[in-house]
Amino acid sequence: MKKCLKILRRAARSAVRLLFPLRCPFCDGIVASFGEKLCGKCAGRQRLLMPPYCMKCGKKLRDEGELCHDCREKDHVFIRGRALYEYESAAGTLYRLKYGGRQEYADFLGEEMAFYLGGFIRETRPDALIPIPLHKWRKRRRGYNQAALLARSLGHYLDIPVEENCLVRVKNTRPLKCQNPKERQNNLKKAFNIEENDVKLKTVIIVDDIYTTGSTVDEAARTLAACGVERIYFVTLACGAGV
Ligand SMILES: [Zn+2]
Ligand SMILES: [Zn+2]
């Protein structure tokens, strides 16, 4: 019986793959080989964000020093963070994940985050991963929250619980790309709230798709810290100019 179920499940998966072929997260081409997550052209060509990077926010460093220009200028609420890709090398992937309905990318991308950022994440000994929430109107329009998809995949591969409901977005801010840094900071004030009063988490990792100025992560971290979370880190898929 068990064997039968296994065969049926495998057949169902194959049928789904035939009807809805998996798309390569980097070029959006069809992934022809079963069991693969990237097309043959893109496999092994991902460009990771390599050192030197900022010891605080993980941004690629272009000059000497331990911190990027932003982190030398201002204090952050979070302790430290890392990103997997530089924005430029993952711009198309991010755009399609966020606005093009390509939810399926999250499985591969979360696995990559787990593989390359897993050491950093485990060292922090997190109680949970917390995705940056979308406002409910935006989530309804988009149908999903890309940060939550990434967090679920990452949590699955690293076996860390994901808390999706503790942080909520109470302000429906304009997309960050339409705002300058000062506007971002002001508009994000009190953008989040804690849904569950009884937060027992001490160490958390915030998960988002992109880190730009850090205002979003900082504001979420401020809300979490006010509720007793003591150590807040973050990981993002990419770091840079932003979409
Ligand atoms: Zn490809
Ligand atoms: Zn920095």
Query: Over the chain, what is the mean pLDDT?
Result: 89
Q: Is pLDDT at 21 greater than 50 in this prediction?
A: yes
Query: Smallest Cα–Cα separation from 239: which of 214, 203, 202?
Result: 214
User: To 10 degrees, the CA torsion angle through 86, 125, 109, 152?
Assistant: -140
Does one domain contain both 158 and 225? yes
Ligand number nearest CA of 71 is 2
Within this chain, do residues 101 and 204 fall inside the same structural domain, yes or no? yes
Residues 30 and 119 grouped into a single domain: no
Ligand positioned closest to the Cα atom of 234: 2
Owner of token pair 């030398």: 72
Token duo for residue 61: 């460093």
**Residues 182-218 pLDDT 10s:** 676 677 788 899 987 677 899 999 999 999 999 999 9
Do 15 and 53 lie in one domain? The reply is no
Closest ligand to residue 42's CA:
1
Domain that holds residue 232: 46-239
pLDDT greater than 60 at residue 7: yes
The crossing angle, in degrees rounded to 10, of helices 146-158 and 87-99 is 110
Q: Are residues 116 and 191 in the same domain?
A: yes
Task: State the SS3 of 91-141.
Answer: HHHHHHHHHCCCCCHHHHHHHHHHHHHHHHHHHCCCCEEEECCCCHHHHHH
- Please, which residues have CB less than 5 A from ligand 1, an ion? 24, 26-27, 29, 39, 41-42
Strand partners of residue 207: 131, 235
Same domain assignment for residues 193 and 235: yes
Ligand nearest to the CA of 61: 2
Q: Are 84 and 191 in a shared domain?
A: yes
Could you tell me if 153 and 229 lie in one domain?
Answer: yes
Compute the distance from residue 25 Cα to the ligand 1 centre, in Å: 7
CA diameter of the chain? 64
Residues 58, 166: one domain?
Answer: yes
The ligand whose atoms approach the alpha carbon of 26 most closely is 1
Same domain (yes/no): 59, 90: yes
Pairing between β-strand 203-211 and β-strand 231-239 as defined by DSSP bridges: parallel
Q: Supply the pLDDT for residue 1.
A: 66
Which ligand has the nearest atom to the CA of 37? 1
Å from CA of 89 to ligand 1 middle: 13
Percentage of residues in the chain having pLDDT higher than 90: 67
The token pair that represents 214 in the structure block? 């850090």
Query: Is the predicted pLDDT of residue 243 greater than 60, yes or no?
Result: no
Provide the number of structural domains found in the chain.
Answer: 2
For residue 143, how far is its CA from the centre of ligand 1 (angstroms)? 25
CA distance 67 to 76: 12
Distance CA 65, CA 52 (A): 9
Directed axis angle between helix 146-158 and helix 105-123, to 10°? Answer: 60
Token look-up 């329009």 returns 141
Cβ-based burial of 15 (10 A; exposed 0-12, middle 13-18, buried ≥19): exposed
CA of 49 to the centre of ligand 1 (A): 19
Ligand nearest to the CA of 93: 1
Ligand nearest to the CA of 212: 2
CA of residue 242 to ligand 1 center, whole Å: 22
DSSP-based helix, strand, coil % in the chain, nearest 5: 40, 15, 45
**pLDDT tens across 127-177, in order?**
999 999 999 999 999 999 999 999 999 999 999 999 999 999 998 876 656
Confidence (pTM): 0.88
Q: Are residues 13 and 56 in the same domain?
A: no
Rounded distance from Cα 45 to ligand 2 centre (Å): 26
- 61 and 176 in a single domain? The answer is yes
* Average pLDDT value for residue range 21-39: 90
pLDDT tens per residue across span 32-83: 888 888 998 998 888 899 999 999 999 999 877 899 989 999 999 999 999 9
Supply the CATH number for residue 103's domain.
Answer: 3.40.50.2020
